[in-house]
């Protein structure tokens, strides 16, 4: 039986962290499924839910660490969730690049407009490509 307020607080922090971590894991499954199905609306909703769940889990893990640390099992689950987030981020980045390439193939003007929309390595794209020397 827990007798001190510190022990009760540590147990509450651990329970809160476990709940938050369970929510993160559920959101990861949801997002992976939405990405697999190529469902843009579900992907957007799942990524927003994951962002919120991760924020809450980080907050709870910080509190748990301050109040005596977190159990190794929760630490491992948190590390696994972090790895899954990184893997999904990588998958989203690859899908985004693939989509950009497909758009450039289908709509070449879109790629040109995108490149001309801002400054590049050579400076202002609207500037004439000259040596800067005036001719008489």
pLDDT of res. 46: 94
CA 73 from centroid of its chain's CA atoms: 24
- Compute CA distances 15 → 8, 28, 59, 67, whole Å: 11, 20, 13, 13
- For position 56, what pLDDT does the model report? 93
Supply the pLDDT for residue 40: 86
> According to the model, what pLDDT value does residue 103 have?
87
Q: Supply the pLDDT for residue 5.
A: 74
Please tell me the pTM assigned to this model. Answer: 0.67
pLDDT 10s per residue in the chain (136 long)? 556 776 676 677 788 889 999 999 999 999 999 988 988 899 899 999 999 999 999 898 888 878 777 788 888 998 999 999 999 899 888 888 888 888 888 888 755 555 555 555 555 555 555 555 555 5
Report how far residue 61's alpha carbon sits from residue 98's, in angstroms, rounded to the nearest whole number.
36
CA distance 87 to 108: 31
3-state secondary structure of 46: helix
> Residue 74: its pLDDT value, please?
87
């Amino acid at each position: 039986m827990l007798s001190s307020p510190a022990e009760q607080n540590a147990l509450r922090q651990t329970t809160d962290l476990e709940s938050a971590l369970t929510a993160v894991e559920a959101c990861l499954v949801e997002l992976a499924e939405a990405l697999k199905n190529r469902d843009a609306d579900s992907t957007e909703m799942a990524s927003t839910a994951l962002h919120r769940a991760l924020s809450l889990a980080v907050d709870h893990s910080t509190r748990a660490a301050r109040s005596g640390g977190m159990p190794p099992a929760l630490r491992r689950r948190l590390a696994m969730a972090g790895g899954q987030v990184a893997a999904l981020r990588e998958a989203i980045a690859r899908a985004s690049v693939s989509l950009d390439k497909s758009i450039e193939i289908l709509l070449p003007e879109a790629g040109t407009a995108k490149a001309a929309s801002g400054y590049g390595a050579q400076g202002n794209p609207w500037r004439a490509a000259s040596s800067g020397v005036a001719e008489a």
